[in-house]
Amino acid sequence: MEIFTYDYYEELLKAFKNNGYEFAFFDNLDLINKKDAKVVILRHDVDFDIQKAKIMCDIEKKHNIFSTYFFMLNSKFYNIHNLENYKIIKKIISLDNKLGIHFDETSYEDKNKLNKFILNEIHFFETLFKQKIQVLSFHRPIEEILLDKIQIPIAHTYQKLYSKDIKYLSDSKKEMCGGDFLDIINSKKYKKIQLLIHPFWWNKTNRSASLDYEDFIKRKNTELKKEISNNSDIYVFQENNG
Ligand SMILES: [Zn+2]
């Protein structure tokens, strides 16, 4: 089966179910700490493209599965205040998923005030989406965070409990760390797993990471032209030139 395809992702979800895993949110501590329970915490970091997060969410719903979606406040690629994006995120929440903050510390100059900025972002997200924020994931985390050496005012996905005490699997850089995820799940080797899936890397068919970027650039380019056209009497967007 081709990896990084929606079909593969469905197989992955089925494999968790068939092997007796329960799906958990980051704050389901009783379940996560339950000695013999098989538990998976599904996480999505949305770095580029909110539309692709929605596709992931639709697949999960087909299988009655929930996960935690992490969005950015200060992204240059998407704006969560934009009505279209806002509606998608609201829809994702309404399907029993949870919202987390994908925090990019490079958005801020004064690194000594990290906790203040984190509290600000929590406030922004909670006010906008009316859902309690219980967990944060760092975008391209610095070493101190990976080593769980920094204390922040909220739970985060690189804490020992979520990344060292349990098996941490990630598709970062469009690679399956530790080997084929399906094989790992079917091996039944790990009782507790945190699985990080970046929706950006997943498609109908398998393709290279550079093609994912190129496709994204193409779509954004068209979007930008349409948007300029919508806001200008001088520039006219023509579909065949897009
Ligand atoms: Zn990220």
Residue 229: phi, psi to the nearest 5?
-60, -40
Ligand 1 mean position, distance from CA 110 (Å): 20
| Residue whose entry in the numeric block shows the structure tokens 């949110």 | 25
Please determine, for residue 238, whether its predicted confidence score (pLDDT) is greater than 90. Answer: no
Instruction: Give the pLDDT of residue 206.
Output: 96
Please determine, for residue 142, whether its predicted confidence score (pLDDT) is greater than 90. Answer: no
| Residue whose entry in the numeric block shows the structure tokens 């349409």 | 226
Can you tell me the mean pLDDT for 114-133? Answer: 97
Please determine, for residue 242, whether its predicted confidence score (pLDDT) is greater than 60. Answer: no
Average pLDDT, the chain: 95
Ligand 1 mean position, distance from CA 19 (Å): 29
Ligand 1 mean position, distance from CA 140 (Å): 6
Residue 112's CB: how many other CB atoms inside 10 A? 7
Ligand 1 mean position, distance from CA 172 (Å): 9
Residue 103 forms beta bridges with which residues? 138
Ligand 1 mean position, distance from CA 174 (Å): 12
Q: How far apart are CA 174 and CA 200, in angstroms?
A: 9
List CB-based neighbours of ion ligand 1 within 5 Å: 45, 47, 139
- The per-residue pLDDT for range 77-92, each reduced to its tens digit, is 999 999 999 999 999 9
Q: Looking at the chain, how many residues does it have? A: 242
Percent of the chain with pLDDT over 70: 99
Ligand 1 mean position, distance from CA 46 (Å): 7
**Confidence band, pLDDT 50/70/90 cuts, at residue 112:** confident
Please determine, for residue 239, whether its predicted confidence score (pLDDT) is greater than 90. Answer: no
Can you tell me the mean pLDDT for 5-20? Answer: 98
